[in-house]
């Protein structure tokens, strides 16, 4: 092995400190704490009780399963909603407008989740803007209940995550040569065939990395389920939040956190396997 | 279907309609927030009672405007400070990490790179509780062993900075790496053959080339920090950041002052976006 210059260590040491102190140790700690349990004598012992509590209480694992399924659902929904937009902005709209339209997509991202979710709360409430508007028009007499349920939660989760999917899909679409589509069309392929046989296979890397980002944002989100979902739409992060900041049962919370981490890692691993992607591609 | 292919006007128009609806969906909550910030009302709702700047400037029994609300102003200030330090630390470490992973070869590089990317696939809540658990543990240990109370290991301003930095550095690393991939290595080799040390090469050649990406990454890290809630909530001490403050107000005591703050954020972001767009546009021409 060749001799290292001092500069190498100058680069290596801070990075190692970052990764070990803030990524490795905290998550190992999370793992160990999740097996700590205070027994009847007030002693801290090694135990599986934190995990048993999760499986014994229906509300915990039901919320867990619901969070997993909803996160997958919202990710698919985000794809369905945003793919046409990504396609339009790369392949259809005149080039001179497209960069401005893309800029508009970035604005809600930078404004931040809390503000935009608050906006949806104002829109969807019983006395909110949409109900007010509909009653004013005479379309309805009594307000439609749109807030504090799974519907409003889904809107919020979709809104705050979907834009992160457009950008990777657009960069995949940009490198798709138009002549491939033209050739298929000349050979008599229908729009649906072109979409299925050319566009989708070609943009799979973009869809996969965008989908993973969306999935992560959704499954780990607290703001949209809590503010827009209210009490009737539970989310697993809310259980973690309660263990840490309401009942102060940190070890139980650690077990929940670890379960959430395992769940998200497993689903992402599966998604990467199914689409034949690598994690470092997701980053770019 | 695409620009060069003809298609029916029904297809074209319904596609266009969908895009318009999508943008309406996108902009609707933002417009609502902004409009209601100027409504002369004590509630965050229609009907429109006329234009008023009360929720910015009023200071009376019923209404406390944004610029008179010292708690809110303080949380904005804390968020700005947090954002600055997070951006600073993330930019330094993220750039170093980009240089390390792009330009050096070493054992376990793949594993370390995986760890550096891990914050992308760790839910923010989990990152928050992990750092809270381990810092509390370290803090208690140090206090019991040495009798010293280390403030930044308890939920506090600096713990928030540390927590946000842990993932901010990843985003900076990705942004700087992307630029570094376009770098012509022969420039570094030329520098080295002219007897510059490795450090001089980095300082005089590589860093100047990376400058636009580094500045961009600083801004991104700042914005990520400024709007973060999921990680911050577990690490925050007695002085809340703006998102934490907004959250508790939304849950417990919402008045249109929330709209006033949100309006400022929306206006600031939109304006900066437009300016950067105009500057880029002019550069291209």
What pLDDT band is residue A280 in, cutting at 50, 70 and 90? low
pLDDT given at position A153? 93
DSSP chain B: --TTS---HHHHHHHHHHHHHHHHHHHHHHHHHHHHTTBSSSSSSPSP--B--HHHH-BSSS-B-GGG-HHHHHHHHHHHHHHHHHHHHHHHHHHHHHHHHHH---TTHHHHHHHHHHHHHS-HHHHHHHHHHHHHHHHHHHHHHH----GGGSSSHHHHHHHHHHHHHHHHHHHHHHHHTTS-HHHHHHHHHTT--HHHHIIIIIHHHHHHHHHHHHHHHHHHHHH--TTHHHH--SS--HHHHHHHHHHH---THHHHHHHHHHHHHHHHHHHHHHHHHHHH-
Torsion of CA A101, A105, A108, A113, to 10 degrees: 170
Greater confidence (A13 vs B279) lies with A13
pLDDT in tens, A81-139: 999 999 999 888 877 788 888 889 989 989 989 999 999 998 988 888 888 888 888 88
> Which of A276 and A217 is assigned the larger pLDDT?
A217
For residues B77 and B71, give the distance between their C-alpha atoms in angstroms, rounded to a whole number: 10
Q: Report the pLDDT value the prediction gives residue A1, as an integer from 0 to 100.
A: 43
Q: Is the pLDDT of residue B168 over 90?
A: yes
pLDDT at A282 over 70: no
CA of A58 vs chain B CAs: smallest distance (Å): 22
Identify the residue among A34, A97, A111 best suited for mutation to test binding to B, counting B beta carbons within 10 A and taking the highest: A111
Report B:191-210 residues touching A (Cβ under 8 A).
197-199, 202
The verdict on pTM exceeding 0.80 is yes
Sign of the CA dihedral running A125, A128, A133, A138: positive
pLDDT band at A16 (very low <50, low <70, confident <90, very high): very high
Instruction: Tell how far CA A52 is from the center of its chain.
Output: 28
Q: Is B142 on the interface with A (CB under 8 A)?
A: no
Better-scored residue on pLDDT, A119 or A277 = A119
pLDDT at A60 over 80: yes
On the CB side of A30, CA atoms within 13 Å amount to 27
What confidence score (pLDDT) does residue B120 get? 87
pLDDT band at B242; cut points 50, 70, 90: very high
| Rounded CA separation B163/B170 (Å) | 12
Rounded average pLDDT over B118-127: 90
B7, B29, B101, B158: which to substitute to probe chain A, counting the most A Cβ within 10 Å? B29
Q: Assess B230–A contact: CB distance below 8 Å, yes or no.
A: yes
**Per-residue pLDDT tens digits for B7-34:** 788 888 899 999 999 999 999 999 989 9
pLDDT class of A3 with cuts at 50, 70, 90: low
Instruction: Give the number of residues written for chain A.
Output: 284
Q: Do A237 and B25 touch (CB under 8 A)?
A: no
Q: Which residues of B touch A88 (CB under 8 A)?
A: 15, 19
Q: pLDDT: is B2 or B243 the higher one?
A: B243
| Predicted confidence band of residue B1 (pLDDT cuts 50, 70, 90) | low
Q: Write out chain B residues lying below 8 Å of A212, CB-based.
A: 121
pLDDT score of B176 more than 90: yes
Confidence (pLDDT) at B98:
93
Substitution target from A104, A178, A257 for chain B, most B beta carbons within 10 A? A257
Beta strands per DSSP E along chain A: 36-38, 44-46
Which of A260-264, A270-274, B77-81, B113-117 has the least mean pLDDT? A270-274
Q: What would the mean pLDDT of B232-241 be, rounded to a whole number?
A: 91
Q: Residue B226 is nearest to which of A101, A112, A125, comparing CB atoms?
A: A112
pLDDT at A92: 86
Q: Name which of A16, A100, A261 is nearest B126 (Cβ-Cβ).
A: A261
In the numeric block, which tokens belong to residue A152? 């409003």
pLDDT beyond 60 at A203: yes
Above 70 in pLDDT, residue A205? yes
* CA distances, A181 to each of A87, A98, A207, B8 (Å): 13, 20, 19, 17
| ipTM for the complex shown | 0.88
**Which of A:158-197 have CB within 8 Å of B?**
159, 163, 178, 181-182, 185, 191, 194
* Subunit contact B250:A118, Cβ cutoff 8 A: yes
pLDDT digits (tens, 9 = 90+) for A224-265: 999 998 787 789 999 899 888 888 888 889 999 999 999 999
Positive or negative: CA dihedral B10, B14, B19, B21: positive
What's the whole-number average pLDDT of chain A?
87
Structure-model confidence comparison of residues A143 and A62, the more confident one: A62
Say whether pLDDT at A279 is over 70: no
């Amino acid at each position: 092995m060749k001799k290292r210059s001092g500069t190498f260590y100058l680069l290596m040491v801070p990075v190692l400190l970052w990764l070990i102190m803030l990524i490795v140790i905290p998550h190992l700690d999370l793992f160990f704490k999740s097996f700590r349990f205070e027994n009847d004598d007030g002693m801290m012992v090694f135990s599986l009780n934190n995990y048993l509590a999760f499986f014994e209480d229906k509300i915990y694992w039901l919320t867990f399963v619901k969070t997993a399924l909803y996160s997958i659902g919202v990710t698919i929904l985000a794809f369905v909603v945003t793919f046409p937009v990504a396609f339009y902005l790369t392949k259809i709209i005149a080039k001179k407008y497209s960069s401005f339209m893309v800029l508009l997509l970035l604005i809600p991202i930078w404004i931040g989740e809390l503000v935009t979710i608050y906006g949806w709360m104002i829109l969807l409430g019983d006395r909110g803007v949409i109900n007010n508007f509909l009653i004013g028009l005479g379309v309805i007499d009594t307000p439609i209940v749109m807030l504090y349920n799974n519907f409003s939660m889904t809107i919020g989760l979709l809104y705050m995550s979907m834009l992160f999917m457009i950008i990777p899909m657009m960069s995949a679409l940009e490198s798709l040569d138009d002549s491939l589509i033209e050739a298929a069309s000349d050979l008599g392929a229908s729009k649906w065939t072109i979409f299925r046989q050319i566009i989708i296979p070609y943009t799979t890397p973009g869809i996969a990395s965008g989908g993973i980002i969306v999935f992560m944002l959704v499954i780990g989100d607290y703001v949209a389920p809590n503010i827009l979902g209210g009490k009737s739409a539970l989310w697993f992060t809310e259980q973690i939040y309660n263990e840490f900041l309401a009942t102060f049962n940190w070890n139980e919370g650690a077990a929940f956190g670890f379960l959430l981490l395992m769940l998200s890692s497993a689903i992402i691993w599966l998604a990467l396997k199914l689409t034949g992607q690598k994690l470092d591609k997701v980053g770019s | 279907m695409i620009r060069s292919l003809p298609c029916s006007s029904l297809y074209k128009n319904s596609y266009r309609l969908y895009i318009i609806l999508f943008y309406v969906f996108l902009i609707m909550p933002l417009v609502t927030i902004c409009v209601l910030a100027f409504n002369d009302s004590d509630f965050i709702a229609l009907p429109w009672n006329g234009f008023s700047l009360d929720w910015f400037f009023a200071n009376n029994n019923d209404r406390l405007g944004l610029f008179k609300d010292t708690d809110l102003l303080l949380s904005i200030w804390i968020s700005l400070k947090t954002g600055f330090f997070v951006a600073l630390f993330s930019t330094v470490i993220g750039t170093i990490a980009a240089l390390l992973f792009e330009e050096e070869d070493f054992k376990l590089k793949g594993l370390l790179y995986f760890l550096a990317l891990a914050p992308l696939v760790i839910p923010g809540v989990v990152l928050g509780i992990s750092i809270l658990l381990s810092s509390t543990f370290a803090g208690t240990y140090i206090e019991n062993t040495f009798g010293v109370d280390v403030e930044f290991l308890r939920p506090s301003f600096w713990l928030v900075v540390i927590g946000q930095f842990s993932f901010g550095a990843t985003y900076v690393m990705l942004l700087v790496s992307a630029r570094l991939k376009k770098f012509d290595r022969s420039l570094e080799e030329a520098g080295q053959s002219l007897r510059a040390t490795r450090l001089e090469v980095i300082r005089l050649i590589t860093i100047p080339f990376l400058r636009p990406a580094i500045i961009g990454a600083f801004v991104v890290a700042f914005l990520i920090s400024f709007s973060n809630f999921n990680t911050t909530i577990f690490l925050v001490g007695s002085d809340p950041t703006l998102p934490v403050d907004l959250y508790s107000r939304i849950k417990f005591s919402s008045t249109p002052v929330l709209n006033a703050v949100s309006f400022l954020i929306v206006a600031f972001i939109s304006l900066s976006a437009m300016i950067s767009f105009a500057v880029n546009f002019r550069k291209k021409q």
